[in-house]
Amino acid sequence: MRVRLHFRLDGPAGQRIPVNYNSWLVSAVYHWLSLSSRDYADFLHNVGYRMNNHVYKLFCFSQLRVRQRRVVGEWLHLGTTDFSWSLSSAKEDFVAHLLAGLSKDPQLTVADVRATAQQVEHIPEPPLKPPVRFVCLSPITVSIWDDHSAKNPIRYLFPGEEFAEAVRINLKRKHQLIFGKPPLDESFSMDFNADYAAQKRRITRLVDFKGIKVRGVLCPFDVDGSEELLRVGYDCGFGEKNSIGFGMVEARGK
């Protein structure tokens, strides 16, 4: 279930927010959830859905979508007063509590910039018959534990076979948590668009989340294989750290 929230700045265009704004968006999500159900917000924040020492929140969200924007150093300058933000989850309770809380307090604050929700747009589920081309609405990240690195044992993967397999395993776990069983079809392949990558100076982005540096990939990609896994990725996000702003995608056909 997916919604797109449309906001308008309380002040004029030209205001600026930090480039690394994810933590404010996460705070807004849990604020709205708590306004609807403190118990649900506490469960999702402190417990979540667990499997084999892995914890999932089963929701994802996009970057802020601003038609006119300009990055200067560590700041994102908003060239227009209107912007949107998309959120998605396989759990209907999440969206229901989110919107209930938003109706009680329609304000979003990022640093010292305030905006007010103007409209909630419900996005219909797209057909996801493989193969499907996706575009990233937020970076996709996957990592492995590197025992050979004493400085930083967490190694973020770059596009390739190892990256795709890590995404596939992640999607299988999410499917098990959502439906209580593994997918009937576990096949999965993903190929990032080589032409797009060749045109860009880089297709990765380093995001600072409360002092933690997370590297993700921003590049269109084609997926083939299990429609069940594609649906989980669309609803909950591809890769890791979805609940702090990674892995949301939009289907564009093939």
Domain of 22, CATH number, reads 3.30.70.1890
Same domain, 212 and 116: no
Same domain, 139 and 108: no
Same domain, 83 and 114: yes
Last residue of a domain, one of 123, 155, 174: 123
Same domain, 158 and 187: yes
What distance in Å separates the CA atoms of residue 79 and residue 9, rounded to the nearest whole number?
Answer: 11
Query: What does the pLDDT profile of the chain (254 residues) look like in tens digits?
Result: 999 999 999 999 999 999 999 999 999 999 999 999 999 999 999 999 999 889 999 999 999 999 999 999 999 999 999 999 999 999 999 999 999 999 999 999 999 999 999 999 999 999 999 999 999 999 999 998 766 655 666 788 888 889 999 999 999 999 999 999 999 999 999 999 999 999 988 899 999 999 999 999 999 999 999 999 999 999 999 999 999 999 999 998 65
Same domain, 48 and 18: yes
- Determine the 3-state secondary structure of 50 from DSSP: strand
Query: Residue 3 corresponds to which amino acid?
Result: V
The total of structural domains in the chain comes to 2
* Torsion 9-10-16-19 (CA) sign: negative
Domain of 170, CATH number, reads 3.30.70.1900
Which residues have CB under 8 Å from 62's CB, separation 6+?
85, 86, 87, 137, 138, 245, 248
**Which residue range is the domain that position 76 belongs to?**
2-123
Same domain, 162 and 217: yes
Q: Hey, how many other C-beta atoms are within 10 angstroms of the C-beta on 246?
A: 27
Same domain, 12 and 70: yes
